[in-house]
Every structure is written in structure tokens, then in C-alpha cells.
Amino acid sequence: MKKILLSVVILILVLVAILVYRANSVFENNQYQVSESLTPITLNESAALDRFSKALQIPTISYDDKSRLDIAAFEAFHQHLKQSFPLVHQKTKLIEFKDFSMVFHLKGQNSQLKPALFMGHMDVVPVDEQTKDQWQQPPFSGNIVDGVIWGRGAIDDKVSVLALMESLEWYLRQNNIPQRDIYFSFGHDEETGGEGAIAIAKYFAEQNIQFEFILDEGGVITDGVIPGPTQPVALVGVAEKGFVNFRLTVKGEGGHSSQPPAHTAAGILASAIVNVENNPFDARTEFFNLMFDNIGYSMPISQRLPLANLWLLEPVVLSTLLESPTSAASVRTTTAVTMLQGSTKSNVLPTIASAVVNFRILPGDTIAGVQTHLERVIDDPRVTLSAELANEASAVSPTDNIGFKLIESSIRRLDDNVLVTPYLVLGATDSRHFQDLSTNIYRFMMVSLNPETLKQFHGLNEQIAVKDYLNAIQFYYAMLEQTASGESTVN
């Protein structure tokens, strides 16, 4: 008996030693090593801030009801860009799509180099009238108070549009001669589906244009958001989830509620919904692995140990991740029942009952797979399925492309305290319409957010620090200058 116990103890000690060894050896510091910081361009900061402030004052709102589009607001925004950035308008070719989406094309000298595409969008989400009085500064004021710029669009996504235009205006002012073609694509309705971006992508496809890389909005620099690292972490999206709405419909005979059948159409639908919610999609750690391969070395051993030993502890890690809706969304295709409809009167049996279930699809899963899953877990021929507003999950872009490396190096050369890692974008961006135009699509904005300011996306008190906006200009200029030069290596 003592020999058995001794053997068990030895095995446990060996196992613990293996776990600890892997925790201290699996993750390496693969961050870009800064040998020379970026030399900032000499901006007229007050003028740049004034141009950004005025852009935020223009209510370029996207409504689900397209008839509510404020044509005058978008015309004013276009005019503001024209007045603010005269060299961009003089030295690039401007093409408009769907009336208000814009493409600027700066021609390069070397036609053998694939062009690069930088993206943003001009439109913003509406401000809820019921909470408008809770804004600390008016949502379309563009006020600059105590080092902060306030206004809808400050982080989503006029920061990208204006910072890109500032960087290109400066680039042209220096009489630079680009080797590589540079394109800017600014959609006007990203928040409502991106018809402008769809038209732009179609135009590029018809021109047989393939991009070396594409950079759109997406990830940000997080501070205190990712558990573990004490340093800020820049999240560069290398993929984004897809989405599909499935409408579940059940037909019934109707009639008076005083003589109901055993199961009404609403009851049958309710049973189907319970089956859907009780059978979530399988969880996978692949995107967490991708993220922590780059920043795992900076985490405390209590977190490194399970992440470095997924061969043994993956069920424990997944269980922990699934406890939070935020982290759960990164490891599985999510299921959300969002809309229900039945009878219009309490004493009338429904002739049709329907529900809409929204799925956010993890790369690797498909819309067809979601339907197969639904059919299996519902297992009731009385429930019919129809897909609406469907978009497949994106491919996963590589991190060894010049585009990702330029993003990483530019971030680190601006601030080498920031760690950079790839991650999965949970929402949708206009770049999803450009999948056929490049295998190297990245999603990142030079904006710093913490757990509190993250809530400002589509929420109250949207704002950006002055230093962050000025940093965004420096970041885009570094990207633009190096990309346009045509060099295949990162400085």
C-alpha cells in the first residue's frame, strides 16, 4: 500500500513539475523589438483638433429606415473634407459610390507592387433621445474639454477617417512620391449594412484589383481589459465573426382560446426555443491560443500555467471562459433569441408564431452548419427555418504579412510599453465585404480604451483623449509612409 501511495505522490510531483516547467517555457517574448522610436511629424495640433471637432459636429447618422438619411449632413461632411484637405482632393482621384461613400486613389510609381487599402466610415449611430440629457457634453458638439474630445463618432469611426486624411495631407505636403498605390475607402452606411462598401468592393473586383493588405476599424489598445498583463494590449483583428438571423416559424389553426389544442403554435415555438438555448455550440480555444501566444509571457504564473497546459487543462480553461458572456463570445458561435411574435390578442390562438434567433458565427463554423445544428436540436417538422441577413465568418489573416508587421511595429515604435497581439473581432466591419480582394485584412484603430470607456461604443458620452487622436494621426502617417515606399521589410 505504501508503495502505491509513494508512486501516486511521485506521479503527482512529476505532473506538477511538468505543468510549472511548461508555464515558464511555452510562452516567449515575440513582441517587435524597438530599436528606434518613430519620429513624429510636426502637426499644427490645434488646427487638426479643430478639423476633427467640426467633423463631429456634423450629424452623419445612419438609420435603419433609409428614408431618414440626412442628405444635407453627408453633403456637409464631404464639403468639410474638401475644405480641410485640399491637397488630398487635388492629387488623388476621388470616386463616389451610392451618393456618399468615397474612395480616394493615390497613384504609385511601381505598378508591380500591390496597392494597400485603408478604410473607415463616416456614419454614426443615432443618439437615444431618452438618454440624451445624460451626456456630459452634447453628443454633436465636438467640444474639447480638459484634454478630451466629445461627440458621437469620436471613436466609431470618424477618428479613422479624419486621422487618415490628416496623414495623407501631410504626406502630400512633403512632396513625397509613392511607389505603391494607396487607396482610402470611406463608407457612409457601415452601421446599417454597408451598401456603400459593397459597391466599392464590387468596383475593385471589376478592376481586378488585389490588395497587399487592408486595414479597417476593429481592435483598439486596451488597458485593464485583458486579464493578466499589467501593460496595455493592442488588439489587432485578424478575423471577424459572421452572423445570421434564423426565423423560426410555426403555423397553427387559430381559433378561440377557450378551446385550445394541447400545444398552440406559440407553445410549439417555445419548446423549440428552449431546445435551441439548451444546446449551445461547442467551444474552441483557437483564438485565445492565438492571442496568448503573443502576450502569455507577460501574465502571472497563475494564468500562464493553465494556458500553457491546455493538453490537460483545456476543459477547465473553457469552463472559465464560458462563465463570462464577453469571453464566451470569443470561443463559440453564440445564440441569442431576440424577437418573438404570436397572437395579437390574449384570447385568440395564434395562426402563426415566429421567433428570430441571432447567431454570431465563429470562423470555422458556417451558416449551413448553423442550420444543420438547428434542425438537429429542434427535431420538429412543425418548425420551419429561414435565414435572413446572413454573412459568413471571415477567413483568418496571417500575422507574417507586411501589413500586420507594419501595424505592430508602428504601435510599438510609438509606445514600446504596449503589447501587440492578434484577436477575433466579435462585431462586423465594412471589411467583411472585401474578403475576395485580399487574404491580409486587419482591423485596428489607434484608440486607447479601458473597461469604462469601452461602454461608449454606441453608448453614452462617446469621447476620445486629445493625445489619442493625435497619436492616431502619427500612427496612420507611419503606416502610410512605409506602405507607400514599397519596402518589403519593416524598419
What whole-number distance in Å separates Cα of residue 484 and Cα of residue 113? Answer: 10
Taken in order 469, 473, 478, 480, is the CA torsion positive or negative? positive
Q: Nearest CA to 115 among 106, 123, 124? A: 106
pLDDT digits (tens, 9 = 90+) for 304-363: 999 999 999 999 999 999 998 889 999 999 999 999 999 999 999 999 999 999 999 999
Query: Which pLDDT value is given to residue 425?
Result: 96
Cα–Cα separations (whole angstroms), residue 305 to 30, 224, 288, 315, 357: 18, 20, 14, 14, 37
Catalytic residue from among 157, 166, 190, 365: 190
Establish whether the linkage from the previous residue to 128 is cis, with ω within 30° of 0: no
Segments in the chain below pLDDT 50: none
Under DSSP, the state recorded for 132 is: G
Query: Which pLDDT value is given to residue 362?
Result: 98
Q: Nearest CA to 442 among 214, 220, 288? A: 214
What whole-number distance in Å separates Cα of residue 236 and Cα of residue 362? Answer: 17
List CB contacts of 103: < 8 A, sequence separation 6 or more.
Answer: 94, 95, 96, 97, 183, 184, 185, 186, 200, 203
What whole-number distance in Å separates Cα of residue 92 and Cα of residue 15? Answer: 63
What whole-number distance in Å separates Cα of residue 73 and Cα of residue 79? Answer: 10
Query: Which pLDDT value is given to residue 105?
Result: 98
Q: Nearest CA to 400 among 431, 416, 422? A: 422
What whole-number distance in Å separates Cα of residue 385 and Cα of residue 149? Answer: 46
pLDDT digits (tens, 9 = 90+) for 407-454: 999 999 999 999 999 999 999 999 999 999 999 999 999 999 988 888
Query: Which pLDDT value is given to residue 488?
Result: 72
What whole-number distance in Å separates Cα of residue 227 and Cα of residue 96? Answer: 43
Within the chain, what is the greatest distance between any pair of CA atoms?
88
The rounded Cα 250 to chain-centroid distance in angstroms is: 35
Lookup: cell for 12? 503527482
Beta strands (DSSP E) in 160-288 are 182-187, 213-222, 233-240, 242-251
Lookup: cell for 456? 461608449
Query: Which pLDDT value is given to residue 1?
Result: 73
Domains of the chain: 45-240+394-485 (3.40.630.10), 255-391 (no CATH)
Q: Is 190 a catalytic residue?
A: yes
Q: Is 64 a catalytic residue?
A: no
Taken in order 340, 343, 347, 351, is the CA torsion positive or negative? negative
